[in-house]
Amino acid sequence: MNFNKHFNEYDNYSFVQKKVAIKLLEYIEKTKIAEEKELSIFEIGCGTGIFTREYKEKFSNIKNLILNDKFDSRQFLSNINYKEFLLGDVTEIEIPQTDLVLSSSVFQWIEDIDLLFKNIALKSNKLYFSIYTFGNLIEIKNHFGISLNYKKFEEIEKSAKKFFKTVKAYKETIKLNFESPIDVLKHLKYTGVTGIQKPSVKNIRTFKDKELTYEVAYFICEN
């Protein structure tokens, strides 16, 4: 992952991430979470605060907000009122006890998602998140042979149900169209979603796609 190298440009290119954050919030608003008088939240992988700002604007009952990211993005969060920033990989840090755990566009990076769900369920009764699933960025996989090990929707749902009594799951396909193949590659470079491998110069020059496919799933998990 190279998010930290492009944080300054991230918000300018993260069209899908913003759309996914808004859609996740729409599903969250259908729950009764906003009716609770006081709410403590732990957000995993807050990045530059795209999702954070969305839910902070909607919910006035947040009494305690703890943010996390693998990279130190605190300079981008200066206008967000939060209690604590936990720096580090969520699989390696201690998850705090909160009413709700949130995460948007992050969990596709987690290899052992069973273990993550287990650790979260021990500290919170509610987990709401979005994740990119199998078939995501298929154009890049087909041309460059580069892809994360995206999990299938059904696999994630099955895993979540091991640790949460109620799991509501939704999925959608988002198509992005660009002016040129170079614009596609710029979008991928500055959002850091292509995986950890680097394509060859030859493969870059022969890339012709002007469309990207995002496969997204949303989960509302509760105990």
In the prediction, which pLDDT does 196 show? 45
Please check whether residue 160 lies inside any domain of the structure: yes
Please check whether residue 92 lies inside any domain of the structure: yes
Residue 2, pLDDT > 50, answer no
Q: pTM for the complete prediction?
A: 0.88
Q: What is the per-residue pLDDT across 105-146, written as a single tens digit (0 to 9) for each?
A: 999 999 999 999 999 999 999 999 999 999 998 888 888 777
Confidence of residue 102 (pLDDT cuts 50, 70, 90): very high
Q: What is the per-residue pLDDT across 33-71, written as a single tens digit (0 to 9) for each?
A: 878 889 999 999 999 999 999 999 999 899 999 999 999
CATH of the domain at 34: 3.40.50.150
Please check whether residue 87 lies inside any domain of the structure: yes
Residue 104, pLDDT > 60, answer yes
Q: The tokens 């992050």 sit on which residue? A: 106
Ramachandran angles phi, psi of 113, nearest 5°: -75, -25
Please check whether residue 145 lies inside any domain of the structure: no
Confidence of residue 192 (pLDDT cuts 50, 70, 90): low
Residue 14: how many CA atoms within 13 Å on its side-chain side? Answer: 22
For residues 91 and 47, what is the distance between their CA atoms, to the nearest angstrom?
16
Q: Which residues of 153-192 are buried (b: 16+ CB within 10 A; e: fewer)?
A: beebbebbeebbeebbbeeeebeeeeeebeebbebbebbb
In the 8-state DSSP scheme, what is residue 92? T
Please check whether residue 185 lies inside any domain of the structure: no
In the prediction, which pLDDT does 56 show? 94
In the prediction, which pLDDT does 178 show? 86
CB 216 within 8 A of CB 130: yes
Q: What is the per-residue pLDDT across 137-186, written as a single tens digit (0 to 9) for each?
A: 888 888 877 778 899 999 999 999 999 999 999 999 999 888 888 888 87
Please check whether residue 39 lies inside any domain of the structure: yes
For residue 122, give its domain range.
Answer: 3-134+151-173+215-222
Please check whether residue 72 lies inside any domain of the structure: yes
Residue 13, pLDDT > 80, answer no
Looking at the structure of the chain, the number of domains it has is: 1
Residue 4, pLDDT > 50, answer no
| Mean pLDDT confidence for 188-194 | 64
For residues 66 and 46, what is the distance between their CA atoms, to the nearest angstrom?
10
Please check whether residue 11 lies inside any domain of the structure: yes
